Every structure is written in structure tokens, then in C-alpha cells.
Chains A and B, each alone.
Chain A
Amino acid sequence: MTTARVLYHLARADFLERVRRYSFLLTLAFAAGLALLTSSGTISLQLDEYRGVYNSAWVGSMMTLVGTTYITLAGFYMVKNTIQRDGQTRVGLVLATTPMSKSLYTLGKALSNFAVLGAMVSVLAVAAVILELVRAEAGGLEPGKLLAPFVWVALPAMAMTAAVAVLFETLPVLRGGAGNVIYFFAWTAYVAVSGITGVNDYVGFGLFMRQMGGALKRIDPTYPGGFAFGHPNAEAAKTFLWNGVDWTPQVLLGRLQWIAIAVAIAWLSALFFHRFDPAREGWRRKKEAPEPGERADAHDAAAQRVADPHLTPLARAAHGSQFPRLVVSELRLMMKGRRWWWYLVAAGLFVASLVVPDVHAHQAFAGFAWLWPVLIWSQMGAREARHDTQKLLFSCAHALDRQLPAVWAAGVIVALCTGAGLGIRLLIGSDLPSLFAWLAGALFVPTFALALGVWSGSSKLFEALYTLWWYVGPMNHTPGLDFTGMAHSSVSTPFYLLATLVLLTAAYFGRRTKLGYA
């Protein structure tokens, strides 16, 4: 079998496995949602007070930017599980015993990621055609101009995202939740820098900024160079006719370079790929795993010593509710595996948000205090699926009305403890409205995690959405989106309490559905 055939089948099997899962429908729904928001004008592209006339070039470019901006971020989280799935399904163990090379495997996985992301881009391309036909602001449909940005900008961006997702999966440090958070910040910084400098970035900001800005400057020399993409503050007052990117050989080479870089990243990922060797799956597990000889010795020693074990019958009185004990157990399970430095940083953030006098600094510390436990909360509701303990747990009495509330209570305790610096400060300052808003936030965050964990069965959805929300809300003090109580507004407390109630109900019914029994 040729290398190309192996690569094709690796990617094909992985892609088919993905598209036959319900989660793939969610992936497409996400792309369709982006298209809908763009069509309605919620997401738009403006150059100062201008927007382009809705011709094929403008619609295609705008929809491409939507894809490259949002899919390179959210899509990363959606595809960053391809190697993990092979591990969970144990298909990886079989693959590891074949002659397939590690680089072929990582390239195949990147190709499968690319196919999934490409499917999302296709949804946007179809939406772009519909949008132009509906708006019909200029001339007829020009497929070449409409689709060229998708081909030359969106697809290389997807190739990069696909390859980086594989790289993150192969690196032990970036494989888990920490990698998800790091990607968010790295991506934000990268897009911000490329937006400011206008360099040839893989997302395509620089290219569109230069080309659109240049065209507008020729029409209106007073154009100051503004380029805004996202939710507009106000409708664009003027329009200008833009005929699309000038696809010179240099521009095309600039875009193709990202595909080459993506292939290189996917290929280099093989250097870190563990090939499903349990001894290489992670630094911590390696440390914990006993040597085979040690394991056998321990077993033999125990076997010799135990002759005739005895089990004392358990008194019926030993059975009961024991809810507080269950909460403590859930809390212990949540915190298990945290290293000493985790507690040190949490304590530092607590003290800093309590005593630092500078308002901006203390707000930043208080914000970070509720980002620090993100990987603890993200396990809520998803832990059972991740570790395959559902059957053990769901066959226990009161799994729905006792264990689920216990998980929630433990999550709230984590929120109260890690955010206590700000809470105490608000209490001392007798800022009761903000204190109530903070309390509502302490209830909301773990409930949000629990609901997403129960429904998605994965920690990633919460990690991605929460980090984004945290960045927009507590970090940028966006009114209404700041759940920490620092940017208190009169509506935030009731909103977050209501959201908590809705999410708690969603978590309850989600778990109830999974239990199969009421």
C-alpha cells in the first residue's frame, strides 16, 4: 500500500467516525450560526465609517474572515481530540502495532481535522452565496470572486488550525485543559498583533486590511485606516465598491506558505507523538506507574500473606443519606492531583485580590482568581464519561438527586474559596450590591460548568466558552458579562441567578436522560 493510500485511509476513517457522531451536527450548527449572525449584521466588517457594497468579492471576503476568525478559535477545540479518541477507543493500540510511521499518523490526523474544519468552511461558503443573492446590492453572482477568499485564505487557515491541534495533542503539557487555555491566549495575542501590524498572518486579517484599506484610500484619501470586524457599534454610514483581493503570485505564495507550514507542523508533531505507549503518555503517569517487576513483587507478597480473608456483614443502619460526606468526597475528587504550587497560586490570588490597594491591579487579581480553577470546574459533569465510571456510578442509589447536587455543591465551594479575596473585600467595604453579584457569580460559574459537562460529556466546551466569557467579561469589564461582581450592574445579579437556575435544571435533565431512569 502506498504512503498516499495509507494517509488517505487514516484520514478517511477518522473523518467518517467524526461525521457519524451527533457532535458533528453541532459543529455544522456552529458554522450555520456564524453565517446567520453575519447575514443579520450582528457580525460585520467595517472600515471606519465604510462597508463594502454586497458584491461577490465583499461577501466572500467577509464570510471568509468570519470563518478564519471564529473557526480557527472554536474549531481548534472541536477537532483537538482525534488522537485522544484513538486512545479511548483503543484503536490506537492496534495502529501502534502496524508498520505505519508516526509522521504518517500525525499527518493523517491533521488531514482529518482539516476535512472537519473544511466542512464548516463549506457551510459558510454556501451561506455566502445565499447572502449575496438575498442582498443583491451589486451585479450578479461571480463565483470566482466569491469563492477565491475561501480557497486561498480560509483553507490555509484551517490547515494551520488542524495541524496546531495535532501538535497540541502530541505535546504532554498542552494535551489537557492547560493547553486549551494556553491556545486561547496565544490565539488572542496573535490575532491582536496581526490586526495591529497588518502582517501576512494565517487568519488573513493582514491581507484583507491591506487590500481593502488600499482600495478605500484610493476612493477616499481621508480614510484614517480603521478596520473593525465583529459586532459593530453603529451601522456603516457609507459604502464603497470593492472588487476583491488582487491575487498576485506573491499573495498566492504567501497563502500557500501557510499550508506548507501546516504540513511541517503536523509532520514535526510526530517527534512528540507517544504512539500509544503507556509509559510515554504523560510525565505524571510515568512517574506514578510502577515498574512491572515492582508490581509483580507486591502482588506475590500480598498473595502469600493473605490466606483466608473475611468480610464482616454490613449493618443495614450503615446505609443512609450522608450528603455532607458525599460533598466532601466530590470535593476531594475534584482537588485530587493538584500540586502544591496550584494551592500556592490560588492563595496568592486570594491575598492579592483582598489586600492590593490599586483598583485595577486588585480587579485583575480577582479576575484571575476565578480563571485559576477552570480546569477543576471543567471536570464537573464530564468526569464520569471521561473516566468511564458511568455504569458504576449510575447504578448507585440516588445518583441523580444526591450525587449530582453534591458535585454542584463542591464546585460552588471551590468558587467561594478561590474568589473569597474579593468577596471579603466587598463585605468589608459594605458594598452589598456587588457582594450579591459576586455570590451570584459563585453560583453561576460552577453551574455553567456542570451543565456543559453533563450535556457535552467533555470538559473542552466549558474550557473554551468560559475562557472566552472570562476574557470579555471580567477582564474587559463588559457590563452584564462580568460575573465577578466587579462591574456590577443592576441587572447582573438577577440575570446570573436566573441563568444558574436554568443551567441547573438543564444539568438535572441532562443527567436524567443519561441515567435512562428517573
Chain B
Amino acid sequence: MQLIIDKAGKRYHGRHGAVWALRNFSLELRPGVLGLLGPNGAGKTTLMNIIATITRATEGTVTWNGSDLQREPDAVRAVLGYLPQDFGVYPNLNAVEFLEYFAAVKGLDGASTRRRIDELLQLVNLADVRKRPLGGYSGGMRQRVGIAQALLNDPQLLIVDEPTAGLDPEERVRFRNLLSDLSGDRVVILSTHIVSDVEATATDIALISGGTLVTHAAPEELLRAAEGKVWEWVIPSAELSAAKQSYLIGSTVRRADGVHVRLLAESAPAGAVPVAATLEDAYLHCLSTHRAHLAEAKAR
């Protein structure tokens, strides 16, 4: 089981000329959960759309177990589970009918389908409302129907784009656990802005910015890179604005003794104490280093 993205690029033609949403992107994936992180407009959804065969890459290749997706898209579609960021449902169908429909579209046989749908509805906590038309579902419930749909064909490649959007904290934890359970024998690509979701499930992280791959590493490697560069600094409220100008601030918490600022810097400001880096710190550090390199290269 292997997904290889080799120098993939995607160009869109807009009103103001061509725009590359993804450029020279290469990545090799094996079973496990890949956390896809990056700022808005980084190219994450474009990358997932290419892998999910929704759109063609303008350049480069994507292969699944040796099959080129440009030429044989059905090679991956047959084993693909895809949860897009935005999707709709047929409002007159109930959850069972909706899943039965997609099971038929995915070519699953009747006997396997019924049992699978029962299990999936239990899994996503919709068993009790299985007969209610989807038009009456809340956003979170629809999202869970989408998750069930993605898992319907027991996919070897699972792509989920912002899967926990709209889920309550309890459901989010359940979904994270599910992803971890599933990751053993399949390739899972998880795109999200919620770093804690990635922290809990990802075995690998790919950080994208401006359509290019910034880094592809294990979470531990990213954390090591940020180690010794994260500080906690207690300052009066009045100095917060100046601190924001001088340092990369991760978070701020107001307490009785002042504002507790979590910041990233090569050396500590006077009075700051070192703290253990989290994945969010590592993400910010990696991105700021990348931007600094780009600015440097541009200046040269």
C-alpha cells in the first residue's frame, strides 16, 4: 500500500491570470495517518482533490500502488474513502437510504452493505436517528453521515478534510480514536486546522504553505526542532502590544499577576522561562522559519 506524489502541481486560470495552487509537490505515503497542516489557501484541499481524483494535476504524477491516477483513476476510486470539507446530502433520504445509495454507487453487494451500514451508524452515533430524513439533521449529524459514507467501502486510502468541523467535543474524541484504530492497515490523510486533532492521531505531518511542501516529518522531529525555543513570559497588559511587535506569540492568558505570554524565540527575553514545545508551537516555528527563508531568498 503506497501513495506516491511526484512533483505534482495544479494551475488554475483566474481573472487575473494563472495561479499555481500547488507546485512541485512530492510526498511518499505508507499506512498510517498523515496530518496535513498549513495556513488557509496553502493548497491542502487542492492536494486532496487531486489524490481523490476530483481534479487532475496540471503537472507531475500521483500513483497508488503503481497505478497512475491520471490514466487509471478507478484504481484508487475503488479503495478510496473521501470526506470533502463541504458536501451535501439528499434531504429526502434517511441515513440508511443515503448510505445504501452510496454503497450501490461504490459497487458493494447487498449482504455486506446492510451489516456495514448498521455498524457504521453505531460507530458515528446515528443509530437512533437512522430513519429520520437527512433534511432534518443538524450540521454535526450530517458530518457524521459523511464520515460513515467515507468508511462505507472499508477504504485502503482514507482522505478526510476538516472531518471534525461541527462535531461536539465528545464526537471529536471518538473520531480521533477511530482514525487511530483505522490507521494500522491503511493510508489516512487528515487535513485540519485543529492541531490537537493531528497531535492525537498523526504518525506523520506534512506542512504546506504557498502550494509547496515545507516539511514532511514525524511529530517528534517537528517538536525537537522547536525545543528550547518556546518561552513563557509574564508581562503587564500594557506591554503586550510591544511584545507582539517583537516576538512570535503563540498564545496569551490573562491572570492576576499579568499576561502569561507563550512565545517563540531563539533566545529568551529577560524574565522568560523555557517551556516544553507543543505541536502548535512546532507548527508556528516551522512556518515562521520557512517564511523567513523565503524573505531572505527574495531579498537576495
Which residues of A line the B interface, CB within 8 A?
285, 288-290, 295, 298-299, 301-303, 306, 309-315, 317-322, 325-326, 328-329, 332-333, 336-337, 383, 387-389, 391-399, 402-403, 516-518
User: Does B154 interact with chain A (Cβ within 8 Å)?
Assistant: yes
The answer on a CB contact under 8 Å between A393 and B122 is: no
Measured in the bound complex, the distance between the Cα atoms of B9 and A436 in whole Å is: 52
A302-B127, A516-B56 given as contacts; is B107 within 8 A of A320 (CB)?
yes
7 nearest A-B residue pairs (beta carbon): A388-B88, A314-B154, A318-B112, A397-B77, A337-B92, A329-B104, A309-B123
The answer on a CB contact under 8 Å between B84 and A392 is: yes
Q: Smallest CB–CB gap between A301 and chain B, Å?
A: 6
The answer on a CB contact under 8 Å between B153 and A319 is: yes
Residues on B with beta carbons closer than 8 Å to the beta carbon of A299 = 125, 129, 141
- Residue of B at shortest CB range from A319? B107
Measured in the bound complex, the distance between the Cα atoms of B88 and A383 in whole Å is: 11
- Residue of B at shortest CB range from A518? B73
The answer on a CB contact under 8 Å between B115 and A312 is: yes
A314-B112, A403-B105 given as contacts; is B92 within 8 A of A398 (CB)?
no
Residues on B with beta carbons closer than 8 Å to the beta carbon of A329 = 100-101, 104-105
The answer on a CB contact under 8 Å between B92 and A336 is: yes
Residues on A with beta carbons closer than 8 Å to the beta carbon of B102 = 392, 396
The answer on a CB contact under 8 Å between A320 and B109 is: yes
Interface string of B93-108 (1 = CB under 8 A from A): 1000100111011111
A333-B93, A395-B77 given as contacts; is B119 within 8 A of A312 (CB)?
yes
The answer on a CB contact under 8 Å between A332 and B97 is: yes
Given A314-B108, A322-B109, A326-B105, 5 other A-B contacts at CB below 8 A? A289-B135, A299-B129, A329-B105, A392-B87, A395-B80
Measured in the bound complex, the distance between the Cα atoms of B90 and A285 in whole Å is: 12
**Which of B24-32, B47-55, B250-258, B288-296 contacts its partner?**
B47-55
The answer on a CB contact under 8 Å between B88 and A288 is: no
The answer on a CB contact under 8 Å between A311 and B136 is: no
Q: List 12 A-B contacts (CB under 8 A).
A: A288-B133, A298-B129, A309-B122, A321-B107, A322-B109, A326-B107, A333-B101, A336-B92, A336-B93, A387-B89, A397-B74, A403-B105
Residues on B with beta carbons closer than 8 Å to the beta carbon of A306 = 122-123, 125, 127
The answer on a CB contact under 8 Å between A516 and B54 is: yes
Residues on A with beta carbons closer than 8 Å to the beta carbon of B70 = 517
Measured in the bound complex, the distance between the Cα atoms of B170 and A302 in whole Å is: 12
The answer on a CB contact under 8 Å between A388 and B135 is: no
Residues on A with beta carbons closer than 8 Å to the beta carbon of B135 = 285, 288-289
How many CB-defined contacts (below 8 Å) exist between A and B?
157
User: Does B66 interact with chain A (Cβ within 8 Å)?
Assistant: no
The answer on a CB contact under 8 Å between B105 and A393 is: yes
Q: Smallest CB–CB gap between B11 and chain A, Å?
A: 14
Residues on B with beta carbons closer than 8 Å to the beta carbon of A319 = 78, 106-109, 153
Q: Smallest CB–CB gap between B123 and chain A, Å?
A: 4
The answer on a CB contact under 8 Å between A303 and B55 is: no
Q: Smallest CB–CB gap between B174 and chain A, Å?
A: 9
Residues on B with beta carbons closer than 8 Å to the beta carbon of A321 = 107
The answer on a CB contact under 8 Å between B73 and A517 is: yes
Residues on A with beta carbons closer than 8 Å to the beta carbon of B97 = 332, 336
B120 interface neighbour in A311, A313, A394, Cβ under 8 Å: A311
The answer on a CB contact under 8 Å between A391 and B54 is: yes
Measured in the bound complex, the distance between the Cα atoms of B153 and A313 in whole Å is: 9
Interface string of B247-285 (1 = CB under 8 A from A): 000000000000000000000000000000000000000
Within 8 A of A (CB), among B110-169: 110-113, 115-116, 119-120, 122-123, 125-129, 132-133, 135-136, 138, 141, 146, 149, 151, 153-154
Measured in the bound complex, the distance between the Cα atoms of B123 and A311 in whole Å is: 8
A289-B136, A298-B129, A337-B92 given as contacts; is B149 within 8 A of A392 (CB)?
yes
The answer on a CB contact under 8 Å between A315 and B170 is: no
The answer on a CB contact under 8 Å between A398 and B90 is: no
- Residue of B at shortest CB range from A309? B123
Q: Smallest CB–CB gap between B71 and chain A, Å?
A: 9
Measured in the bound complex, the distance between the Cα atoms of B80 and A392 in whole Å is: 11
Residues on B with beta carbons closer than 8 Å to the beta carbon of A301 = 128
A325-B104, A326-B105, A392-B82 given as contacts; is B90 within 8 A of A336 (CB)?
yes
Residues on A with beta carbons closer than 8 Å to the beta carbon of B77 = 395-399
A319-B153, A395-B82, A402-B107 given as contacts; is B119 within 8 A of A310 (CB)?
yes
Measured in the bound complex, the distance between the Cα atoms of B115 and A311 in whole Å is: 9
A288-B135, A311-B119, A389-B87 given as contacts; is B54 within 8 A of A395 (CB)?
yes
The answer on a CB contact under 8 Å between B153 and A314 is: yes
The answer on a CB contact under 8 Å between B136 and A398 is: no
- Residue of B at shortest CB range from A387? B88
Measured in the bound complex, the distance between the Cα atoms of B115 and A394 in whole Å is: 25
A332-B97, A396-B106 given as contacts; is B92 within 8 A of A290 (CB)?
no
Residues on B with beta carbons closer than 8 Å to the beta carbon of A298 = 128-129
User: Does B239 interact with chain A (Cβ within 8 Å)?
Assistant: no
